[in-house]
Amino acid sequence: ELQDKEATEEDIKVTMKDMGLERARHWGWPNVYVFTKALGEMVLIQEKEDIPLIIVRPTIVTSTYKEPIPGWIEGVRTVDSLIVAYGKGRLPYFSFDLETVIDMIPGDMVVNAIIVAMKAHSNQTADP
């Protein structure tokens, strides 16, 4: 419809983002990211048939703790961009409350948790 009205690519992009956010909020999700993650889980649950399914929902995943090497980052996403900027001296300081808990987990710990979950549930049959 937007193309028929000769909207620019930028206008189409902005409109689609706005529509996605509107739909996410309509269904009770704060943003499109968590909405699409929830949709993906729903599809997996619906289509899994007799295949066992484990869903792991980590918090913000950051660089690694130990494996393959400490601090390994492939691409800079989420909070890692702040950490890298601070480490390179581009961000001189962080202003925060020392009592604040930052809910993050290193990527290798997430992978290890997934492996443990798979082993722990390896002999279980799928729910009907």
DSSP per-residue letters across 33-91: HHHHHHHHHHHHHHH-TTS-------SEEES-SSSSSTT--SS--TTHHHHHHHHTTSS
Does the annotation mark 88 as catalytic? no
- 7-25 residue pLDDT tens: 888 888 888 888 888 988 9
Active-site residue (options: 5, 13, 17, 37): 37
- For residue 26 the two structure tokens come to 């309509």
Mean pLDDT across 59-75: 88
Return the number of other C-beta atoms located less than 10 Å from residue 124's C-beta.
9
Backbone phi, then psi, for 81, in 5-degree steps? -65, -35
What's the pLDDT at 105? 94
Active-site residue (options: 13, 17, 33, 86): 33
State the pLDDT confidence band at 115, using cuts at 50, 70 and 90. very high
Does the annotation mark 65 as catalytic? no
Q: Which amino acid is present at 116? A: V
pTM score over 0.75:
no
